[in-house]
Amino acid sequence: MAKEAWVDQDVCISCGLCVDNIPEAFRFADNGKAECYDSGGASEEEIQNNAIDVCPVSCIHWR
């Protein structure tokens, strides 16, 4: 089973790095916080390197 990324929206500061870096997997939800709408939109390596590792508040995780 492939990993699925998720955003802890209680911690997210809406900086937009994940959305800008990987729009195929991340977007802003109606509440203005980032969400991962399609973990399959990018490779696990790309999500790790360009979203999880660069998030300034470390709110993106694998489940």
- Here the CATH number for the domain that contains residue 49 is 3.30.70.20
Can you give the pLDDT at residue 1?
62
Give SS3 for 61: strand
Give SS3 for 35: strand
Q: What is the pLDDT of residues 52-61, one digit of tens each?
A: 999 999 999 9
Report d(CA 28, CA 23) in Å as an integer.
10
The predicted model scores a pTM of 0.95
Can you give the pLDDT at residue 22?
98
Q: What is the pLDDT of residues 16-41, one digit of tens each?
A: 999 999 999 999 999 999 999 999 99
Is the CB of residue 46 less than 8 Å from the CB of residue 5? Answer: no
Q: Which domain holds residue 17?
A: 5-62
Total domains in the chain come to 1
